[in-house]
């Protein structure tokens, strides 16, 4: 298999959280986060490669899952038990919870946790939903109310789900290097890497959209260049470099290191009546481009990078 190489970079607050433990970040933190957003499977021929797909929710699979089926059954049962407690309170002013009530409440909670473990994105999807069940005296009968509402929201989401229009992108994460591999694709242009650049942007946006349910915050996904070259004359050139995941003392620029910044943006402006020769900028960007830390080089908002993205062959 031939694939283009990209680098997934985290912000400094996340790296500090894990004390720059490169092995933990590469092999545990990042894949755990990706698993909460995308469908995944480990490649049998290479245990260091995890395959992901941007199709986040297979609603038919969820509906057929035994845990979800039981959750719906216990939701209906517990809802009835809860209404009986409310009715009892209205009639007598007393609140009493039976052993069956407590057992079913705990079981419903466990089923919710299990379905969220299997499909973590569901937890995010229902997090901002309004309560589904309206019950009189709700504020007085509190036992199990949270689980009841959470399960009801989950059922409503599954029942009402309409497939999201996300591009169906398959990508591969390397547990040994924080690299992402995207298969070669041609989209009708003369640049065969155009499609994978766009796919990398989609993946980056999806990860950042769901950052509240992951433990990696906002990320950037940049090409890893074998060769990068700038040419031409410009009035101004803007360079954006992200905070590196590598060895802080070796990889961080002095500016990024001093202020512990997430990224560095350099703007080069030509002297009056002069132009900047872009080829003179090549030494400034080449090392960061090779390591996957270079996000962009632009002039008045237009990319001026001419580079060759690294490719790999026979990953498995």
**Residue 26: both structure tokens together:** 């590469």
Q: Return d(Cα 175, Cα 88) in angstroms, integer.
A: 56
Q: 189 versus 70: which is more confidently predicted?
A: 70
Asked if residues 213 and 207 have their Cβ atoms less than 8 Å apart, the reply is no
What are the domain boundaries of the chain? 2-56+166-313, 60-160
Q: What is the per-residue pLDDT across 17-68, written as a single tens digit (0 to 9) for each? A: 888 888 899 999 999 899 888 878 777 678 889 999 887 678 888 999 999 9
Name the one residue in this structure whose structure tokens are 């062959």. 313
What is the percent of the chain where pLDDT is above 70? 88
H-run or E-run covering 257: helix 254-259
Q: Beta-carbon neighbour count of residue 44 at 10 Å?
A: 8
Backbone angles phi, psi at 266, to 5 degrees: -110, 130
Question: How many C-beta atoms lie closer than 10 Å to residue 156's C-beta?
Answer: 15
Confidence of residue 249 (pLDDT cuts 50, 70, 90): very low
- Name the pTM for this structure: 0.73
- For 66, the 3-state DSSP assignment is helix
The Cα 113–Cα 116 span in angstroms is 5
Task: List % helix, strand, coil for the chain (3-state, nearest 5).
Answer: 45, 20, 35
* Mean pLDDT, residues 158-180: 86
Both structure tokens of 112? 């919710």
11 token code pair: 């912000």
């Amino acid at each position: 298999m031939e694939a283009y190489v990209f680098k997934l970079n985290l912000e400094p607050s996340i790296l500090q959280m894990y004390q720059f433990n490169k092995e933990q970040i590469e092999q545990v933190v990042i894949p755990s986060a990706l698993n909460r957003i995308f469908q995944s499977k480990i490649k049998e021929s290479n245990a260091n490669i995890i395959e992901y797909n941007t199709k986040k929710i297979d609603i038919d699979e969820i509906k057929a899952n035994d845990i979800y089926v039981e959750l719906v059954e216990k939701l209906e049962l517990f809802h009835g038990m809860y209404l009986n407690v409310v009715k009892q309170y209205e009639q007598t002013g007393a609140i009493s919870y039976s052993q069956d009530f407590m057992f079913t409440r705990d079981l419903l909670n466990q089923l919710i946790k299990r379905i969220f473990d299997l499909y973590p994105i569901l937890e995010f999807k229902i997090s901002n939903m309004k309560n589904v069940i309206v019950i009189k005296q709700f504020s007085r009968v509190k036992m199990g109310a949270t689980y009841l509402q959470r399960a009801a929201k989950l059922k409503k989401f599954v029942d009402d789900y309409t497939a999201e229009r996300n591009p169906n992108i398959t990508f591969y994460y390397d547990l040994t290097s924080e690299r992402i591999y995207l298969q070669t694709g041609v989209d009708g242009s003369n640049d065969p890497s155009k499609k994978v650049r766009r796919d990398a942007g989609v993946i980056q946006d999806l990860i950042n959209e769901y950052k509240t349910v992951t433990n990696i915050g906002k990320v950037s996904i940049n090409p890893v260049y074998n060769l990068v070259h700038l040419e031409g004359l410009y009035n101004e050139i803007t360079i954006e470099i992200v905070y590196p995941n590598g060895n802080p003392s070796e990889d961080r620029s002095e500016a990024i290191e001093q202020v512990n910044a997430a990224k560095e943006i350099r703007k080069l402006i030509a002297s009056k009546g002069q132009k900047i020769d872009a080829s003179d900028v090549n030494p400034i960007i080449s090392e960061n481009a090779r390591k996957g830390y270079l996000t962009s080089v632009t002039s008045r908002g237009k990319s001026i990078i001419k580079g060759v993205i690294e490719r790999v062959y026979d990953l498995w």
